[in-house]
Structure 1
């Protein structure tokens, strides 16, 4: 009971948070000083210590509420800042706080409405149906009998967050002054991101605008519903919306009871996520099962738009550029795209990054992606996370939330429909997305991209082949032979096409500008170019057909 009273005292909250952070830092420093040899046993001890710290943080967050819960959820998306063992513990941190007495919520509602509850509500259930770190939700009825959900800001929550922001500023100063994060991360920018994101959640008018935006954006989306909001009853601390009867989207017993098609439901979820995550615009950054409801007729209902991110149009273009860089084996393009999206800090070692990106991409491209499973996805994500932690990379908040939202949705999809094949569903979508907005020229861009890829990577392929050791060369001989023949035919086809156009230019120059060159010479050059171009293109097509047949036989 004492702790409940103390949590509203600034010096108490700040002291608890700062002392916890100080102890964590001291434990880490002491561990590193006393463990010079990092073998398997040391790694296990290290992971265990971090798990204990994350567990303590979680308990403190549930006890004190406020920023600790929200910041814990924020950190659970930051693989660029924290080790996986810490993040795994925080992933279980949800808004689990005791509801405040109804009298506090009633006072807030009447202050914001400027009148008594009875004037605008026929009744309200004083027992909250949901209680979170920022708001509590009650079921009520309007005077015409319409059921509504009333979300009310928790008692003194704005004061609590202001206290916690002070503590967070001190903690960030400590991190910047005494740890490697001060050099690796832009902690000032990170602090501003945290304050901005959480301050937006404290303003329910922002959630109202977001909800109306999503409702308008997805009004024609099949099997999806977004509740109506009552703007005339909503304020900065009170939000009134349509009451929805249903269950969590992951409630399998509800799905079975109402005979809902699980594959169809999963496809709706997948399509909704793709529409938000790949294309420019806002996306729901907290799509956990509590915010994804299911009506008895199978309609998916999305609620709670307090936490949203945004994929900007220019960033969507940069993402395409980055993927094209991977396809063309052009890692300068990848680095350029990462800089455009502000992923890289100024002191990033771009040469080292290009080397690591190339090695990682090569390793996975040589694998069989038809056998992509959950374990492989986990391995990829862990390696990316390790890479991100080693490099001076700091994910902008929107992309950290995008990664978190993607991870949450993946888990929901697997729960709803365990047989889901994300690769199969995603392949046509990614192909269309990569074509960009200019559909008239998308086919030509794809042809140009596929043709340019082997030509651009030819010098690198030759260098790699010459530098490979004997065993490596033997291992890659068959693959390398096909690869080089593929590039060989395309290279000479392009060369003879150039000869053909040169001959045509000679003919044109002789006729128009009276160049001292016989017409037959231009025709001869053009003829050689045409014959050579046809020969090498036919040879290339035969090679591609042979490779396709071989691939079909292997399968």
Structure 2
């Protein structure tokens, strides 16, 4: 096989497996030296663990060893730090004593030389720092795995955060990715993992995301796109990007004066409503997944702040991902089928989402889903947390041919992380107490035809109208303390029912009122009792009459414009 000697690895802008392999094949001493460096450090660590188990003090060693592991990952550089950050959000894989230490890897790392940081900024901006900033803190205010942040003030007066990338970052990252991928290819088949694909595929996905994260121009674009989605949301703050003072390795953005969401004491002292902050955080995460399809894949405590006005601020948009329109629809379908306990249809959703192969015999899967998820999403739904769901689901992954697609691994990580942040604010928090009402409100109020169709699927089963389901949806949607106004929905509903598109539903509703050979007056009364507080009778009547008039006028307008016969 012929190899082409590649150019400097520092010129690589995206993850390219062929270029990385060729580069290190020509320089085998680099991965070999790195392998021995990593092996030596971890061999000392595992030897100490074994010593503790045999002759040490088991009650004291976990804290000491957790601190030692954090220091090892820090010393080994950005690649291992990113792995440690990922583990810090996985309570199902990492003991609690280790998680506390690993969370320090999120934004509490040693900075690099401040003179070098200044040099990088001036090289990237092609001008002295004084040309852009009237004030610039020489010492960083925060340091993370891929860069550090300096506080500054632009010459135009705005207070900003200047994010500067660590030197030789691509060289360190590509070396670790090359070594990690080789180990995955060699030893992956022998590991007791049921991933549905090779371990090297996961390394490649990790590499792609890592290269996206170290491109600050892309991060700035991600930030602006995220801000556009939340432009009408008064509860979410996104910093402004200052492009004239930004480049590939330098990003200048609006300074955020906030409190870390994990700093419970300061949040309480400020007088902020913790329950409201939690609801904003969870609902904004659900909006990203189910409405926008563009989601923050790394919402750890260092990237989320509470503002004194009650808003939540997101920062650091390096790790983002995009859900396709089809997957957004499939996710909504899965939630609908889950709410209805329709496990056969849910199995089909898992196939479309990639959790199951198309050839999977769902007759075997359905009883397993019913057994695992039946209790979780039954009457006790408000008492369940997301980690309980993932723990239960992990049993299915090992017993049945489930796999977790790479994109959904990011989603799961994002949700588990958000729940972890919420739990730090409220130890009794249950994510489904917020998520379930959000889904119900969206089903009842969303104007899109896609969601409207899902609502119809919920309300009609086997040709019969499900009165209890509608009552449950309205009841659930009004919980969790969020404002819930059904007035606009009622008007849209009337318009839809009077339209040609709504004729089948109109006919089914007429039959529903008299189904089973009786008039469903009691159900109508119960429904009105739920709706009355959210839609005043006068407003509802006015909306109905207005819509009837508008629809009638629209239908008559073509007739009015016909030419009269002479």
The TM-score bracket by the shorter chain reads 0.5 to 0.7
CA contact (8 A) 2:229 2:292 kept: no
CA contact (8 A) 1:105 1:152 kept: yes
Tell me whether 1:257 sits opposite 2:269 in the alignment.
yes
Which residue pairs with 1:227 in the alignment?
Answer: 239
Q: Distance in 2 between matches of 1:183 and 1:100?
A: 38
Q: What is the TM-score with the length of structure 1 in the denominator?
A: 0.67
Q: Distance in 1 between matches of 2:98 and 2:413?
A: 14
Q: Distance in 2 between matches of 1:419 and 1:87?
A: 17
Distance 1:245 1:345, change over 3 A: same
Distance 1:430 1:166, change over 3 A: same
CA contact (8 A) 1:130 1:137 kept: yes
Q: Distance in 2 between matches of 1:76 and 1:419?
A: 20
SS of 1:301's equivalent? strand
Distance 1:11 1:117, change over 3 A: farther
1:409 to 403, 406, 418: 418
Which residue pairs with 1:501 in the alignment?
Answer: none
Distance 1:185 1:175, change over 3 A: farther
Give the superposition deviation at 1:312. Answer: 2.2
Give the superposition deviation at 1:290. Answer: 1.9
Distance 1:151 1:233, change over 3 A: same
1:14 to 32, 35, 39: 35
Which residue pairs with 2:476 in the alignment?
Answer: none
Q: Distance in 2 between matches of 1:373 and 1:338?
A: 21
SS of 2:461's equivalent? helix
Give the superposition deviation at 1:288. Answer: 2.2
CA contact (8 A) 1:286 1:307 kept: yes
SS of 1:219's equivalent? coil
Give the superposition deviation at 1:337. Answer: 1.9
SS of 1:175's equivalent? helix
Unaligned runs of 5+ in 2: 1-28, 48-60, 467-510, 527-566
Alignment of 1:11-410 (within 5 A): 11-17=32-38, 58-74=70-86, 84-85=93-94, 89=98, 92-93=102-103, 94-95=105-106, 96-181=108-193, 184-326=196-338, 330-344=342-356, 350-364=362-376, 368-369=380-381, 372=383, 378-410=387-419
Q: Distance in 2 between matches of 1:357 and 1:302?
A: 35
CA contact (8 A) 1:122 1:142 kept: yes
Q: Per-residue CA shift, 1:476-518, capped at 9, x if unaligned?
A: xxxxxxxxxxxxxxxxxxxxxxxxxxxxxxxxxxxxxxxxxxx
Distance 1:429 1:333, change over 3 A: same
CA contact (8 A) 1:227 1:303 kept: yes
Q: Distance in 1 between matches of 2:366 and 2:40?
A: 40
Q: Per-residue CA shift, 1:515-536, capped at 9, x if unaligned?
A: xxxxxxxxxxxxxxxx9x9684
Distance 1:179 1:55, change over 3 A: farther
CA contact (8 A) 2:336 2:458 kept: no
Q: Distance in 2 between matches of 1:84 and 1:387?
A: 17
SS of 1:163's equivalent? helix
Give the superposition deviation at 1:446. Answer: 2.9
Tell me whether 1:426 sits opposite 2:435 in the alignment.
yes
Unaligned runs of 5+ in 1: 1-7, 27-48, 455-530, 547-555
SS of 2:256's equivalent? coil
Distance 1:282 1:51, change over 3 A: farther
SS of 2:161's equivalent? strand
Distance 1:205 1:183, change over 3 A: closer
CA RMSD of aligned residues (A): 4.2
CA contact (8 A) 2:288 2:295 kept: yes
Q: Per-residue CA shift, 1:340-372, capped at 9, x if unaligned?
A: 2222357866554333212213344566445x1
Give the superposition deviation at 1:170. Answer: 1.6
Q: Distance in 1 between matches of 2:63 and 2:397?
A: 20
Distance 1:382 1:142, change over 3 A: same
Give the superposition deviation at 1:202. Answer: 1.0
Distance 1:261 1:51, change over 3 A: closer
CA contact (8 A) 2:514 2:520 kept: no
CA contact (8 A) 2:89 2:420 kept: no
Number of matched residues? 439
CA contact (8 A) 2:146 2:165 kept: yes
Higher helix share: 1
Distance 1:313 1:329, change over 3 A: same
Give the superposition deviation at 1:269. Answer: 2.3
CA contact (8 A) 2:240 2:253 kept: yes
Q: Distance in 2 between matches of 1:321 and 1:66?
A: 39
